[in-house]
Amino acid sequence: MIDVTYYLLVGAILVVLGLIGFVTRRNLILMFLCTELIFQGVILTLVGFNRYWLIETDGRHGLEGQAFTVFLLVVAAAEAALAMALVMILQRQKHTLDSLAYAEMKG
Amino acid sequence: MDSLSSWIWLIPALPFLAAIIIGIFGAKTLKENSHIPVIAGVAGSAILSLIVLFKVNGDNSSDTLTATIPGYDWITVGNLQSLISAAIDPLSAIMLAMVSVVATFVVIYSKGYMSGDPGFFRFFAYLGMFVASMLMLILSDNFLMLYVFWEAVGLCSYLLIGFYYNKPSAAAAAKKAFVVNRVGDFGFAIGILLIFLNFESINFQEVFAMVPKMAADDPGLMTTIALCLFLGAAGKSAQLPLYVWLPDAMEGPSPVSALIHAATMVTAGVYMTVRCGAIFTASPTAMAVVAVVGGLTAFFAATIAFAQTDIKRILAYSTVSQLGYMFLAVGVGSATAGMYHLYTHAFFKALLFLSAGSVMHAMHHHIDLKVLGGLRKDIPVTHIAFLIGSIALAGLPYTAGFFSKDAILLAALNHHSLSWVGWLAVITAAMTAFYTFRCYMMTFWGPRMVPSDAHDIHESKWMNFSLIFLAIGVFTVAYAGAGKYEGAYGGWFGHFLGQSASVQQYTALVHDDHAYSHGQVALISGVIAVLFVLFAVIMYAKGRGFAEKFTNNPLHTALLNKWYVDELYDFIIVRPLRWSGKFFVGSDNNIINGVIGIVKITPNAFGVAFQMFFQRGIVSSYALSMLLGLAIMVYYAMKSMQ
């Protein structure tokens, strides 16, 4: 029986890695992948909590966490499609994936 | 009086409603039919006003003579209580009847005069608004309501003087009228404030009841209040030194000159002075000032009227002069004579102005005697109407002006200390007779002169209708105040008006020991009027050649230029004000804006600094600041949960 703490720990590590990657990387694809990493961290946390509540309360709680996960996956997939399309357009504009190339869009 | 209270408000409401209807539907729907609501509304209020007059006349119980009909609780703040209430007494009943009846004929006339004008509906909307405001002014039973509608008639006057607003002279005249009236209204406002501060009430009856006690305590205060109020009256009624706006106001359409600048609005000052009889009579100084200013204005304006060549301007100066007579009468304590002259003057001066308008209509907007003359065969109805108005204004025996001017001269000549003003008024009467007939003779007799661009010389039937009825009115009203009634001079008019509490304040001042009897004064003024009318007729009968021999001297030039008063005012008031205006605009632009600029720079600098550090367009930097913000929020949220 794996303690819930480990789930949360792995989830938190994934989120933080994603955040660090998003802030430090300049390649648009990699930044996008980092957001996916944050997503996975959150999903893992949800699954971990769901499991914890199932055990602790002797099944008096349902599978809300799991259900959320499914929804989140759908949202993530939709977001991925959109984001990839945006990245494609940006790439066609400037033939580069460097996010600094778009710094001129500042207000 | 109960029956009155149910419909008294209809009197001002009908013209007001008419004005609203035209304001909404005039431009698109009514167009050339815009006169219908106003004629109906004003005629309706004329009929109602006459009913009020007969009711007040028929019922002599004391509550009819000073009835207050509550309308609407407008302002109540601390001691200040201003109700929109109607005060009905013989004084307001007479004024209501006069204003609404004259207004009826003027609006009917306007249909003919204004037809075809692109601003037709606008004109009638303003006119309806004016009549409503004027009637409310008369009905006022407290100073605040009086002041509000005093300003409302001023506004309507401004709009109507500047009716042809694309004509620079009309726009300037409207502005001048407004600004000069502002000087008078400033005094009026100070007077009202002083009244409120000292009496803690602005209701006429309450204030007037307290005046004797207050006058005994502080006579100087009563003089100050009375003089402040008189400054307002002098502005509105065009007295020295604020008369300058009225002659220029003739830039407005002629019906406006007839209604507002001869018959009704300009008499509001006289009405107010009579209404505030308790205050004025409490101060002999103020009374003397009123009488002397009135007498001097009458004389001064009459001298200017001698040399003018614009018919409407001659009439305007004569209006100023006749208003001076009214103030003279009030100042020497004969409010009845003043009101009687106001009443007859309203009819004959309206008639004269409408006739002048008819001349203008026929002459393609020319009104200057230099380019027209000898018109008696071209416009016969106008000729007769003008003649009737002229004999009344000149004061030929047994006409309206004769009776009312006589009453004033009698009162002035018999005054204990100001009889010299009375003699000045006698001289003025002679001058009036002369310049009136000079104007008449030059317009209708002598060789025929018609401006080259006047084709199709005709009279309008709408205009003739009003002229005929006003001419009949001039004859009729004369006898309201003539002769004896119940043993006293002043006729029915004097008897009726004498029942008003405000007028009684004045009549109480007058003593019975007469230095000059009625007969003597009537003889003096009658002979003078006849002589000078004959003089003018003979002088101008054969054309203008004889009279023009006298034009080549400095006096005539000074008169022609109105004693250079406008130039004097321009030099001592207008130009210094303009310079100071320029100075303040400069200091505003350079000094004040500079200070404001510093205030403006501060947030800008913050913005620029913020932009430099945080808004660089780098996605990861945005993400980082978002992350930091999120972290701070989570930190505080968790801290507060513990």
Query: Which residues in chain B touch residue A106, judged by CB atoms under 8 angstroms apart?
Result: 615-617
- From chain A, the residues in CB contact with B620 under 8 A are 22-26, 31, 99
- The alpha-carbon gap from A92 to the nearest alpha carbon of chain B, in Å, equals 19
- 8 Å CB contact between A12 and A41: yes
Cα–Cα distance measured from residue B4 to residue B66, given in angstroms and rounded to the nearest whole number: 13
What angle, 0 to 180 degrees and rounded to 10, lies between the N-to-C axes of helices B219-236 and B168-199? 160
What number of other Cβ atoms are within 10 A of residue B74's Cβ?
A: 14
User: Is the residue at A28 inside a domain?
Assistant: yes
Q: Is residue A107 part of a domain?
A: no
- B620 to A99: CB separation less than 8 angstroms, yes or no: yes
Distance CA A10, CA B215 (A): 98
Over pLDDT 70: what percentage of chain B?
Answer: 97
> What does the alpha-carbon distance between residue B562 and residue B246 come to, in Å, rounded to a whole number?
13
Q: Does A107 touch chain B (CB under 8 A)?
A: yes
Taking a C-beta distance cutoff of 8 angstroms, is the pair B196, B202 a contact? Answer: yes
Q: Locate all alpha helices (DSSP H) within A25-97, ordered by sequence.
A: 28-56, 64-94
Segment among A15-24, A67-76, B313-322, B515-524 with least mean pLDDT: B515-524
pLDDT given for residue B487 in this prediction = 58
In contact, B473 and B399? CB cutoff 8 Å: no
Overall number of domains in chain A: 1
- Closest Cβ opposite residue A106 in set B616, B620, B627: B616
B49: which residues sit within 8 A by CB, 6+ positions away? B11, B93, B96, B97, B99, B100, B101, B135
DSSP string across B273-338: HHHTHHHHHT-HHHHHHHHHHHHHHHHHHHHHHHH--BHHHHHHHHHHHHHHHHHHHHHTT-HHHH
Q: How confident is the model at residue B16 (pLDDT cuts 50, 70, 90)?
A: very high
User: B354 falls in which pLDDT band (50, 70, 90)?
Assistant: very high
In chain B, % helix, strand, coil (3-state, to 5) comes to 75, 5, 20
pLDDT at B3 over 80: no
A106: in domain: no
Check which CATH number belongs to the domain holding A28 and give it. 1.10.287.3510
A93 assigned to some structural domain: yes
The reply to whether residue B616 touches residue A26, judged by beta carbons under 8 angstroms, is: no
Residue type, B96: L
Query: Which of B608, B614, B615, B620 would you mutate first to test chain A, the one with the most A CBs within 10 A?
Result: B620
- Bigger pLDDT: B426 vs B557: B426
Residue B1 above 60 pLDDT?
no
Q: Is residue A77 part of a domain?
A: yes
Contact state of A99 with B616 under an 8 Å Cβ cutoff: no
- Where in chain B are the domains? 2-560, 567-641
Pair B261, B319: CB distance under 8 Å: yes
The ipTM estimated for the assembled molecules is: 0.80
For tokens 């084709």, name the residue.
Answer: B455
Half-sphere exposure of B552 (CA within 13 A, CB side): 4
Residue predicted with more confidence, B511 or B55: B55
Quick check: is A105 in a domain? no
Looking at the partner chain, which of B617, B618, B620 has a beta carbon nearest the beta carbon of A22? B620
Which of A25, A34, A106 should be substituted to probe chain B, the one whose Cβ sees the most B Cβ atoms within 10 Å? A106
Asked whether the beta carbons of residue B618 and residue A103 sit closer than 8 angstroms, the reply is yes
Please tell me the total number of residues recorded for chain A in this structure.
107
Whether residues A106 and B619 touch (CB distance < 8 A) is answered with no
User: What domain range includes position A52?
Assistant: 4-100
Among candidate residues B453, B447, B442, B441, the one with its CA nearest the CA of residue B366:
B453
The pLDDT value given to residue B432: 92
Q: Which two tokens stand for residue B529?
A: 């009027």
Q: Which residues of A touch B619 (CB under 8 A)?
A: 31, 99, 102
Q: For residue A89, tell me if it sits in a domain.
A: yes
- Tokens 């039973």 correspond to what residue? B141
Mean pLDDT of chain B: 87
3-class secondary structure for B509-529?
CCCCCCCCCHHHHHHHHHHHH
The answer to the question of residue A22 being in a domain is yes
Residue B217 has pLDDT above 80, yes or no: yes
pLDDT in tens, B22-51: 988 887 877 788 888 999 999 999 999 998
